[in-house]
Amino acid sequence: SIPLSFFAGIGGASNQGVLVKGSNYLETLSQTKCVVFDKTGTMTRGVFEVSGIHHNEMEDAKLLEYAALAECSSSHPISKSLQKAYNKSIDRNRVTDIEEISGHGVVAKVDGITVAAGNEKLMEKLGISYVSCSHVGTIVHLALDGKYAGHILISDVIKPHAKEAIKELKKAGVTKTVMLTGDRKNVADAVASELGIKEVYSELLPADKVTKVEELLANKEEKDKLAFVGDGINDAPVLSRADIGIAMGALGSDAAIEAADIVLMDDDPLKISKAIKIAKKCIRIVY
Ligand code: ADP
Ligand code: MG
């Protein structure tokens, strides 16, 4: 039978906007010593603003149009911000052969022209030589029919409670915080340093995130538990691999919410330490 205090724990968490999918997760949560975060949508808002368009010969508006059209069926936050910056309705008949490559970007035909929109990894995969960009921000490189056309620089912002969330985790007994991201090193390092996260791994493919979490799991003591916090479709495998998977509920993808053990209804990272504190209190009552 399940001790009554577990119901109180789950109820208390739910009052805080934390959905705990089972009483067993309270016990695991109470033993959490390592918290691994995804960056985009988890520690940052996942709402990008187009902050610069740099191109070779083409007009800014035209480059943005190719990007927005090629990305028209992607649900990635990068795509959403490109659609917003473009701010025109999209005639989907102009776009065919859409292929989204996770951790890279998209390739699609726009008006019969093959458009590649994504990061350096995508350009390298396609054998397109690109001009690298040292600005701090997420870069969407564009190539038209295999020829480099320029890039769009976009930036995201850190969530209001993210820094406090890290501080509070330490108070809740968490001894290690780690950030994993598919984004560029300069963006990842800037966010991690702002938040006070010392261990950060960037430019990871979704499968690399799983490998990293497995490494972290192998290098800790059995009794200490590891939580992974994420939001995206690509995070589902890591969410299930961690001792405890925590998903962002509002902005997060259905796949991530499904794969998670705990869901933060309002996407607030500060709720993680609150949930750990509730779990600890409830475990103390039980034992
Ligand atoms: P994160 O770890 O930040 O959540 P993802 O695994 O979703 O990142 O993506 C990693 C990187 O792959 C992004 O930073 C971006 O450079 C590139 N990328 C992924 N999807 C897209 C897309 N639809 N358009 C452009 N770039 C993309
Ligand atoms: Mg993500």
pLDDT above 70 coverage of the chain, percent: 98
**Can you give the pLDDT at residue 286?**
66
pLDDT band at 51 (very low <50, low <70, confident <90, very high): confident
Residue 234 corresponds to which tokens in the numbers above?
């690509």
**Can you give the pLDDT at residue 52?**
85
**Mean predicted lDDT score pLDDT of the chain:** 92
* Whether residue 167 sits in one domain with residue 41: yes
Check if 38 is active-site. Answer: yes
Residue 199 corresponds to which tokens in the numbers above?
């261990």
Q: Which residue segment(s) compose the domain that 124 sits in?
A: 49-155
Q: Looking at this predicted complex, what is its ipTM?
A: 0.97
Residue 64 corresponds to which tokens in the numbers above?
């943005």
Q: Is 206 left (phi over 0), alpha (psi -120 to 50) or beta?
A: alpha
Residue 6 identity (one-letter amino acid): F
Span from the CA of 65 to the centroid of ligand 1 (angstroms): 19
Task: Using the atom order of ligand 1, give the atom closest to the CA of residue 117.
Answer: 25
* Whether residue 69 sits in one domain with residue 176: no
Query: pLDDT, tens digit, for every residue of 15-46?
Result: 888 999 988 999 999 999 999 999 999 999 98
pTM, two decimals, is 0.91
Distances (CA, A) of 265 to 1, 74, 231, 253: 28, 24, 12, 12
Distance CA 274, CA 9 (A): 11
pLDDT above 90 coverage of the chain, percent: 76
Is residue 51 within 8 Å of 64, Cβ to Cβ?
Answer: no
Q: For residue 74, what is the domain's CATH number?
A: 3.40.1110.10
Q: For residue 19, what is the domain's CATH number?
A: 3.40.50.1000
Distance of CA 211 to the CA centre of its chain: 16
**Can you give the pLDDT at residue 39?**
94
* Whether residue 41 sits in one domain with residue 61: no
Of 66, 72, 78, 186, the residue with max ligand 1 atoms within 8 A of its CB, to mutate for a pocket test, comes to 78
Span from the CA of 222 to the centroid of ligand 1 (angstroms): 33
Span from the CA of 78 to the centroid of ligand 1 (angstroms): 7
Task: Using the atom order of ligand 1, give the atom closest to the CA of residue 231.
Answer: 4
| Residue scoring higher pLDDT (248 or 283) | 248
* Whether residue 163 sits in one domain with residue 24: yes
Task: State the pairing for strand pair 95-101/176-180.
Answer: unpaired
* Whether residue 170 sits in one domain with residue 139: no
Distance CA 255, CA 235 (A): 8
Is residue 140 within 8 Å of 67, Cβ to Cβ?
Answer: yes
Q: What is the mean pLDDT of residues 67-71?
A: 97
Question: Which amino acids bring their CB within 6 angstroms of ligand 1?
Answer: 38-40, 71, 74, 76, 78-79, 100, 103-106, 117-119, 138, 140, 181-183, 206, 232, 234
* Whether residue 275 sits in one domain with residue 186: yes
Q: What are the backbone angles phi and psi of residue 223, rounded to the nearest 5°? A: -70, -20
pLDDT band at 232 (very low <50, low <70, confident <90, very high): confident
Per the structure, the count of domains in the chain is 2
pLDDT band at 9 (very low <50, low <70, confident <90, very high): confident
Query: pLDDT, tens digit, for every residue of 94-149?
Result: 999 999 999 999 999 999 999 999 999 999 999 999 998 888 899 999 999 999 99
Element (H, E) at 94: none
